[in-house]
C-alpha cells in the first residue's frame, strides 16, 4: 500500500527571514536559489515544479494557539495528520522528478541530492537516483515552526554519517524585479558541513514548506 507521505512534496527555503526557494534546473543540471513561484497562502497555486522535492519530513507537533478574532499568519498551522506519521523509514532521499520527461517517463529522469564525499566543504550535486549511500538522508524530524504557513525548520543530515549536513552559502543582498533589497543566499553553493556548526547555524538549517494538493 502506498504510504501517504510518498506523495508529499516540499519547497525548501533558507531560514530566518532569508528569501528564496531551492530549485533544480534540468537544463543546467544545477541547484540554485531563486524567488519562490506560487504561494500556498494565496489563491495562486501555479507552483514551479522545479522547486518541488519529495522528502520525508515529520514536523514537530504542537498545540494550536488560542486565537481571538480572525486567525493570522502568526498562529500555529496544522499539517495534515499523515504528515506527522512515524510509519516511515528512518532514511529518506531528496528527489525531484523530470519536469520535461522523455520517453523514459518521469521516474526514469528522477534526480537525487548526492554528496560528493562526507567531509566538510565537499560539493553536493543532483545525480540520477540510485542506491548510492551518499544519497541517503536521515528522515527529517524538525525542531520548530517556520515563519510561513505550513513550514517547519530542520536539517538535512546524511544517513551514512549524521554529523554531516547539507549547508548553503551565507546571506547577501539581492534586488527583486521591483528593485527592492532582499536578504538572499549570496551564492548558489550547496555543500557538506558539520551539523553543529554553531557559528553558522542558519547555513545548515532549512525551512520546509508542505505544498498542499
pLDDT in tens, 105-160: 556 679 999 999 999 999 999 999 999 999 999 999 998 888 876 889 999 999 99
* pTM for the whole structure: 0.86
Hey, what CATH class is 4-211 in? mainly beta
Distance CA 194, CA 59 (A): 22
Place of cell 527529517: 140
Q: According to DSSP H, which parts of the chain are helical?
A: 105-108
Distance CA 212, CA 204 (A): 25
**Is the confidence at residue 83, as pLDDT, over 50?**
yes
Report pLDDT for 15.
Answer: 86
| CB count in 10 Å sphere of residue 113 | 26
Lowest mean pLDDT among 68-72, 94-98, 147-151: 68-72
What band does 74 get if pLDDT is binned at 50, 70 and 90? very low
What band does 43 get if pLDDT is binned at 50, 70 and 90? very low
Distance CA 191, CA 29 (A): 16
Distance CA 126, CA 128 (A): 7
Amino acid at each position: 500500500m502506498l504510504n501517504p507521505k510518498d506523495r508529499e512534496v516540499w519547497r525548501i527555503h533558507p531560514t530566518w527571514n532569508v528569501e528564496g526557494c531551492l530549485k533544480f534546473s534540468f537544463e543546467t543540471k544545477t541547484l540554485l536559489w531563486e524567488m519562490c513561484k506560487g504561494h500556498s497562502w494565496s489563491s495562486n497555486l501555479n507552483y514551479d515544479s522545479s522547486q518541488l522535492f519529495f522528502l520525508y519530513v515529520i514536523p514537530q507537533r504542537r498545540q494550536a494557539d488560542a486565537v481571538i478574532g480572525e486567525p493570522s499568519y502568526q498562529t500555529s498551522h496544522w499539517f495534515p495528520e499523515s504528515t506527522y506519521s512515524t510509519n516511515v523509514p528512518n532514511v529518506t532521499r531528496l528527489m525531484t522528478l523530470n519536469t520535461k520527461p522523455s520517453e523514459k517517463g518521469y521516474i526514469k529522469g528522477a534526480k537525487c541530492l548526492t554528496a560528493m564525499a562526507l567531509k566538510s566543504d565537499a560539493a553536493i550535486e543532483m545525480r540520477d537516483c540510485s542506491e548510492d549511500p551518499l544519497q541517503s538522508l536521515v528522515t527529517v524530524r524538525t525542531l520548530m515552526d517556520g515563519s510561513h504557513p505550513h513550514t517547519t525548520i530542520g536539517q538535512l543530515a546524511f544517513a551514512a554519517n549524521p554529523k554531516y549536513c547539507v549547508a548553503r552559502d551565507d546571506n547577501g543582498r539581492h534586488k527583486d524585479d521591483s528593485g527592492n533589497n532582499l536578504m538572499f543566499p549570496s551564492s548558489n553553493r550547496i555543500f557538506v558541513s558539520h551539523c553543529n556548526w554553531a557559528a553558522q547555524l542558519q547555513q545548515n538549517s532549512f525551512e520546509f514548506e508542505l505544498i498542499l494538493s
